[in-house]
Amino acid sequence: MKRIYLFMFMSAWMFAACSSTGESVKSDASAMETPQEVQATAPAAETQPKVAANSESDEVFHHSGAGFSLTKPGNWNYLSPEMVQAAGQSVKMEDKELEKMIKENPNSPLVVITRYQEPYPTLNPSVAVTMVHMPIEGMAPKDVLNMSTQVLKRAYPDLTYVDEVQDANVDGINGAYTKVKYTMAAGDQKFPTMTRMWLVPRGKVMFTVGMSGPQDGPDVSEDSFDEILKSIKIQK
């Protein structure tokens, strides 16, 4: 089964692409001075996992420019920048306008982690974090998330809500959350998929956190997803 990880990862990354205008937020100031003004599009080198200075392992990812960190479960794995880039160009869908929008989206994820090493023979639970420009500054997080999921329905017509779009709090910051399920296709195979999405605004930018996995079975990974979510730290 070839490159199933691309489809799993793309479900979360497409959410970020659909949430963004595709513009970058740029500033000459450091993240410590004006965290809301950091560049939304990280260069390729910035997608490399960064280990926190006080960590004795590679379990803590820290991106100083974005002011973002999370702790991955010890048995989870980072997806390499090369795999992330390949994922962005692997999108194939019937809606060619949406496909073009996804492929031209300049915002690379800050980090992508997967439960299993790739290649994996079936759906691989994954977490993708992206920093993108707010489509409309001051727009309510729930409205942005509603807009994003409506666009995703163009890619996945059977998409339905498991948890409706609602208010949520991530590391003390008010945002929005939803959980959806839909069917992904890879060739002639179909994969029932569940994706949890969080949107966390910070000034002119927002973090999008997508956590995807199968709808049932031993790889649903709810406990691991909850652990990762609780570990997220965002510079205020």
* Tens-digit pLDDT profile for residues 94-107: 656 655 655 556 56
Q: At what angle do helices 4-19 and 81-89 cross, to 10 degrees?
A: 70
68-77, 130-139, 153-162: which has the highest mean pLDDT? Answer: 68-77
Neighbours of 46 (CB within 10 A): 17
What DSSP character marks residue 23? -
Average pLDDT value for residue range 86-93 = 56
When mean pLDDT is compared across 59-68, 95-104, 117-126, 192-201, the lowest value belongs to 95-104
Q: Is the pLDDT of residue 68 over 90?
A: yes
Identify whether the C-beta of residue 73 lies closer than 8 Å to the C-beta of residue 91: no
pLDDT of 1 reads: 40
- Omega cis (within 30) before 141: no
Q: CA 206 to CA 174: how far, in whole Å?
A: 11
- pLDDT, position 45: 35
Lowest mean pLDDT among 45-54, 80-89, 143-152, 223-232: 45-54
The whole-number pLDDT of residue 171 equals 98
User: Does residue 119 register a pLDDT over 60?
Assistant: yes
Between CA 193 and CA 20 the distance in angstroms is 23
Residue scoring higher pLDDT (146 or 184) = 146
Q: Rounded to whole angstroms, what are the CA distances from 96 to 67, 102, 106, 164, 206?
A: 35, 10, 18, 28, 27
Q: What is the pLDDT of residue 190?
A: 87
* Cβ neighbours of 104 (radius 10 Å): 10
At 125, the amino acid letter reads P
Q: Which residues pair with 169 in a beta bridge?
A: 174
Taken in order 9, 142, 105, 151, the sign of the CA dihedral is positive
Mean pLDDT of the chain: 76
DSSP state of 38: S
**Residue 73 pLDDT level (bands cut at 50, 70, 90):** very high
Q: What band does 58 get if pLDDT is binned at 50, 70 and 90? A: confident
Query: Per-residue confidence at 156, pLDDT binned at 50, 70, 90?
Result: confident
Say how far apart CA 65 and CA 25 lie, in whole Å. Answer: 12
